[in-house]
């Protein structure tokens, strides 16, 4: 499906700090509207859902449509009150889920 996601967020933060989170997933995001060299329609295959949780609580999610470019990039902010784990997941049309986790230490 996709390569390993790239995640950028600080490893440490102060309690109550708002941190910036950046994610990038290498994926072709085929819309289903193009044709191959033989004239056959290339089947749709896109990431249709992105979600992020922190310590199993929802932080950010997005439904993604075919108009999104290849290699979807997401940037958002989250306030951290405690140390924990961010979990990221991207769901493809065929149900494949790519996940990544990153820990942050809050002092």
Alpha carbon distance 86, 58 (integer Å): 10
Total-model pTM: 0.89
Does the structure show a pLDDT above 90 at 69?
A: no
**Is residue 60 within 8 Å of 7, Cβ to Cβ?**
no
The per-residue DSSP string of 47-100 comes to EEEEEEEETTEEEEEEE--TTSPSS-EEEEEEEESS-EEEEEEEEETTS-EEEE
Return the closest-CA partner of residue 92 out of 50, 47, 42.
47
pLDDT tens track for 4-30: 899 999 999 999 999 999 999 998 888
| pLDDT tens, position by position, 72-107 | 999 999 999 999 999 999 999 989 999 999 999 999
pLDDT recorded at residue 1: 47
Q: Which CATH superfamily is domain 6-106 in?
A: Immunoglobulins (2.60.40.10)
């Amino acid at each position: 499906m996709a390569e390993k996601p790239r995640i950028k967020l600080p490893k440490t933060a102060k309690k109550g700090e708002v941190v910036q989170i950046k994610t990038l997933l290498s994926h072709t995001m085929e819309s289903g509207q193009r044709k191959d060299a033989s004239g056959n329609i290339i089947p749709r295959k896109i990431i249709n859902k992105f979600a992020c949780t922190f310590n199993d609580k929802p932080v950010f999610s997005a439904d993604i449509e075919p108009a999104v470019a290849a290699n979807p990039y997401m940037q958002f902010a989250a306030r951290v009150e405690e140390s924990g784990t961010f979990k990221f997941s991207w769901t493809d049309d065929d149900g494949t889920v790519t996940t990544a986790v990153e820990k942050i230490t809050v002092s």
